A and B are shown apart, each in its own frame.
Chain A
Amino acid sequence: MNMSRRLLIYQLLLVAAVAALACLLFSVTQENLARLGVDSNFDFLFRRAGFEIGQSLIPFSADDSILRAFVVALLNTLVLAMAAIVCASMLGLALGLARLSGNWLLSRMALTYVEIFRNVPALLQIFFWYFVVLRTLPRSAHSTVLWDALVLNNRGLFLPGPADNAGAFVMAAAMLLAIGIAWAVGHWASLRRYQTGRSFPVLSVTLSILGGVPLLAAWGTGMQWEFPQAGRFGYGGGIVLLPEFLALVCGLSMYNATYISEIVRSSFSALPRGQLEAAESLGLSRQVAVRLVLLPQAMRIMIPPLTTVYLNLFKSTSLAAAIAYPEVTSVFVGTVNNLVGQPVTIMALTLVIYAFVSLCIALCLNWYQRRLALRGT
């Protein structure tokens, strides 16, 4: 028998052994659960939830099903992860560039920040921000109010929002439209720059599109606005950013920004010095050189390690359970498991969801990485 065939047989045996082990584990668990009288099906998903969730992007009440509670929790997880990823990336980029800066004070300050926040566990940072935020913000009766529209107190940050679901739908649609337009404008601007070399103020135009289109849509459809109003128990109405959410975005992004800043720094350091020198000899300012010459090249190096940070950040949103932000771990492994009492099924479902979303994030970034890669000639 030749070598390669023997190796193939070994590998097949290994796969069979692993599969057999998995089957054994599965059947023993099933048997144990049946013997203990614990259900192991997913019927509970369609039962009435019977508990309330503090923050939900879609309407939810105790009368809805556990499945809907699951969707609410998943959306909360995704919103938190997205906000934290955006904030962490911006902060990380700024920190990384600061560390590369020739300004001694600036680079040392960035270094100090990184060394402090990288070396304290994320959970402690979250507790710190949560209780600092709660203790420093004013009580409801002494809220900070700006133009009768923005209200800040220890119950959250209250913003004006659409008064009903139809309005919310219009806003969401307008936001998507704005993102589409902004993307098209960006695409057109870069094409024009390739062809004519003329630049275009992409950033300010993008921001005005993202802000302007939804406002225009709201005005055009005659949408009713709802402003925060003081009630019996503090303010209500409009859009509320809960202190838990703010503390989590703060804690998670400040912690993960340290890792991102190191990635940014190392990616820029990996570029040949000649790139910056060549850009400067063309007469580009430092700022423009970084934006147009260095950053696009550094991005290629950055994406793979950045994927790891984003995945870690996504998974650490489960720390939110500690400060009452209703995400998947809190709602499912906490509340629902307690009501239903099927730990194995519920853990399995939760694990699968985390794995699925993580894989989606990795896929997106890999796709982006391939798009950025230099094409062989």
Chain B
Amino acid sequence: MRLPGMPALLLLCIPLAAPAGTLEAVRERGFLRCGIVESSPGFSVINDQGERAGFDIDHCKTLAAAIFGEFKIEYVPVTPHTAFTLLQSGGVDVFPDGATWSFTRDISVGLDYAGVYLFAGQTFLVRKDSGIRRVADMDGATICIAQGTTLEQNMADYFGARGMHYQALTFADIDKGLQAYHADRCDAFTNEGASTAGRIANWPDRDDHMIMEEVISKEPFGPMVRQDDPRWRDLVLWSFNAVIAAEELGVNQANVEEQRRTSQVAEVQRMLGVNGAFGEKLGLSKDWAYNIIRLVGNYEDQWRRSFTPLGLKRGLNATWQNGGLHSALPFR
């Protein structure tokens, strides 16, 4: 049985989350508390070796590598119901799961975003024999959807603006919603495309279904942090930026050792801590970014580990040189 009331109670009981810096608190504790959603193929799974893996997990690891130079992490499983509350009350230091960066979330929830790590979009999963080819074909359809995201609102906005009707079937849990779609309870299932692709990859009748190309919303996903600690937000933002910058600069997990020794590019030298004191200014060690790339890899390394096996293309998530939206802030 779900206990949605617990996090609210937590908020009552923890009188004041230490207003001192999150980084100091993490250091003192000796590990990072990272909020994750369990069982979301591609983003957060337990792999064959019994270890946590996925795009979100890599993000936790990126931060731990930057702070400790090793994976000192406590993964705190959250649900969409509990995530924001746990973060607000100090139960987790960061929540890197797919939470769309939207105005309301940013301004009125007491939380802040530290960059965009995935440009996702809301798509529809339909049966190939349903005759649905475009979103416009879905006037009057029953659509299964999961709570805990901006998806419900997107869909109402999109259909409302076009004068189209639909019947929403709102599940508390993504997998139950997919199961209901699979049992033909609804004509379509809508969710962020990458996560749907991951979840249906092992359906025996996968070929009878398709994820429509059409995307009805932008869902920029970013790691969320508390609003009252700008230094911590800087750290989270620049740790992730190092992952993108490394790809732009041609530094990856395989060659980072060599690059640190031999690269003559000034920006690579500054990023990897050969020159300058960028790490120290963030309150970290000199080789913070080197540790990130050495232990977790650049964006392409992470993508290839988590999303390539699911057949996902980089698309909008390519670097700007390759026609995507990711563009690193300069290390200067």
Bound state CA distance, A36 and B185, in angstroms? 41
Is A32 a contact of B5 with CB atoms below 8 Å? no
Which among A52, A321, A326 has the highest number of chain B CB atoms within 10 Å? A52
CB contacts under 8 Å to B, within A69-88, are none
Q: Identify which of B4, B109, B180 contacts A329 (C-beta below 8 A).
A: B4
Does B325 have its Cβ within 8 Å of any Cβ on chain A?
no
Residue B168 lies at the interface, judged by CB distance under 8 Å to chain A: yes
Task: Say yes or no: B84 contacts A25, CB within 8 Å.
Answer: no
Q: Give chain B residues whose Cβ lies under 8 Å from the Cβ of A337.
A: 81
Chain B contacts for A329, CB-based, 8 A: 4
Instruction: Tell whether, in the assembled complex, residue B140 and residue A326 are in contact, meaning their CB atoms are under 8 Å apart.
Output: no
Task: Judge whether A63 is part of the interface by a CB distance below 8 angstroms.
Answer: yes
* A347 and B8 form a contact (CB under 8 A): yes
Knowing A36-B88, A54-B170, A341-B108 touch, does A334 contact B148 (C-beta < 8 A)? yes
- How many of chain B's residues have a CB under 8 angstroms from any CB in A? 54
Q: Which residues of B contact A35 (CB under 8 A)?
A: 16, 228
Number of A-B contacts (CB under 8 A): 148
Instruction: Find residues 143-193 in chain B having any chain A CB closer than 8 Å to their own CB.
Output: 144, 147-149, 152-153, 155-157, 160, 166-173, 176-177, 179-180, 183-185, 187
Contact of B153 among A50, A63, A154, A341 (CB under 8 A): A50
Task: Annotate A120-134 by CB proximity to B: 1 below 8 A, 0 otherwise.
Answer: 010100000011001
Kindly report which residue of chain A lies nearest to residue B132, judged by CB atoms: A233
Cβ of B141 and Cβ of A324 under 8 Å apart?
no
Cβ of B140 and Cβ of A232 under 8 Å apart?
yes
B183 touches A333 (CB 8 A): no
Give complex CA distance A123, B1 in Å: 7
Given contacts A323-B176, A343-B8, A347-B4, contact A36 B110 (CB under 8 A): yes
Q: Check B156 against A62 for contact (C-beta < 8 Å).
A: yes
Residues from chain B with Cβ under 8 Å of A236 in the complex: 140
A319: Cβ under 8 A from any B Cβ: yes
Asked if residues B172 and A25 are in contact (CB atoms below 8 Å), the reply is no
Give CA–CA (A131, B180) in the complex, Å: 8
Q: Are B153 and A339 in contact (CB under 8 A)?
A: yes
Q: Contact check: which of B139, B177, B228 meets A36 at CB < 8 Å?
A: B228
A335/B160 in contact, CB under 8 A: no
C-alpha gap A50/B180 in the complex (Å):
24
Which of chain B's residues 1-20 have a Cβ closer than 8 Å to chain A?
A: 1-2, 4-5, 7-8, 11-12, 15-16
Q: Which residues of A contact B1 (CB under 8 A)?
A: 121, 123, 319
Contacts of B270 in A (CB 8 A): none
Q: Are B140 and A233 in contact (CB under 8 A)?
A: yes
Q: Are A343 and B11 in contact (CB under 8 A)?
A: yes
Which A residues are in CB contact (< 8 Å) with B269? none
Query: Which of B8, B144, B228 has most chain A Cβ within 10 Å?
Result: B8
Is the CB–CB distance between B227 and A231 below 8 Å?
no
Task: Indicate if the CB atoms of A62 and B160 lie closer than 8 Å.
Answer: yes
> Which single residue of chain A is at the shortest CB-CB distance from B188?
A233
Does A135 belong to the interface (CB within 8 Å)? yes
A39: CB under 8 A from chain B? yes
B61 at the interface (CB under 8 A from A): no
Chain B contacts of A61 at CB under 8 A? 160
A123 to B2 CA separation, bound complex (whole angstroms): 10
Distance between Cα atoms of A134 and B139 in the complex (Å): 23
Decide if B226 is an interface residue (CB 8 Å cutoff): yes
B302 interface residue (CB < 8 Å to A): no
Closest to A127 in B: B176
Decide yes or no whether A265 CB sits under 8 A from chain B. no
The answer to whether B262 has its CB under 8 Å from any CB of chain A is: no
A94 interfacial by beta-carbon distance below 8 Å:
no
Contacts of A38 in B (CB 8 A): 88, 108-110
* Chain B residue at smallest Cβ distance from A34: B110
Query: A139 vs B127: C-alpha distance in the bound complex, in angstroms?
Result: 13
Q: Is B85 an interface residue (CB 8 A)?
A: yes
User: Given A233-B141, A236-B140, A338 and B80 touching (CB < 8 A)?
Assistant: yes
Are the CB atoms of B16 and A32 closer together than 8 Å?
A: yes
- Smallest Cβ-Cβ distance to A346: which chain B residue: B8
Known contacts A341-B104, A341-B105; A324 and B183 CB within 8 A of each other: no
A113 in contact (CB, < 8 A) = no
> Does A131 contact B179, Cβ atoms closer than 8 Å?
yes
Q: Which of B81, B89, B157, B166 has the most chain A CB atoms closer than 10 A to its own CB?
A: B81
CB B114 to nearest CB in A, in angstroms, measures 17
Interface: B142 (CB within 8 A): yes
Q: Given contacts A52-B166, A62-B160, A155-B185, is CB(A32)–CB(B15) below 8 Å? A: yes
Within 8 A of A (CB), among B224-257: 226-228
A340 neighbours in B (Cβ, 8 Å): 104, 108
> A232 vs B140: C-alpha distance in the bound complex, in angstroms?
7
Q: Which residue of chain A has its CB nearest to the CB of B6?
A: A347
A239 located at the interface, meaning its Cβ lies under 8 Å from any Cβ of chain B in the complex: no
Q: Which of B104, B109, B185, B187 has the largest number of chain A CB atoms within 10 A?
A: B185
Whole-angstrom CA separation of A140 from B141 in the bound complex: 12
Given A155-B142, A324-B171: A28 and B15 interface contact (C-beta under 8 Å): yes
Q: Is the CB of B156 within 8 A of A52?
A: yes
Residues of B within 8 A of A135 (CB): 183
Bound CA span A232–B153, Å: 24
Contact: A54 with B176, CB < 8 Å? no
Residues A322 and B176 in contact, CB atoms below 8 Å apart: yes
The reply to whether B147 and A335 form a contact with Cβ atoms under 8 Å apart is yes
Q: Which residues of A in the span 327-362 have a Cβ within 8 Å of any Cβ on B?
A: 329-331, 333-335, 337-341, 343-344, 347, 351
Residues B153 and A323 in contact, CB atoms below 8 Å apart: no
Question: Once the chains bind, are B173 and A51 in contact (CB under 8 Å)?
Answer: no
CB distance from B80 to the nearest CB of A (A): 6
Q: Which residues of B contact A101 (CB under 8 A)?
A: none
Instruction: Across the A-B interface, give the 6 residue pairs with the lowest CB-CB distance, nearest first.
Output: A36-B110, A341-B109, A62-B156, A134-B183, A37-B110, A334-B147
B→A interface (CB under 8 Å): 1-2, 4-5, 7-8, 11-12, 15-16, 80-81, 84-85, 88-89, 104-105, 108-110, 139-142, 144, 147-149, 152-153, 155-157, 160, 166-173, 176-177, 179-180, 183-185, 187, 226-228
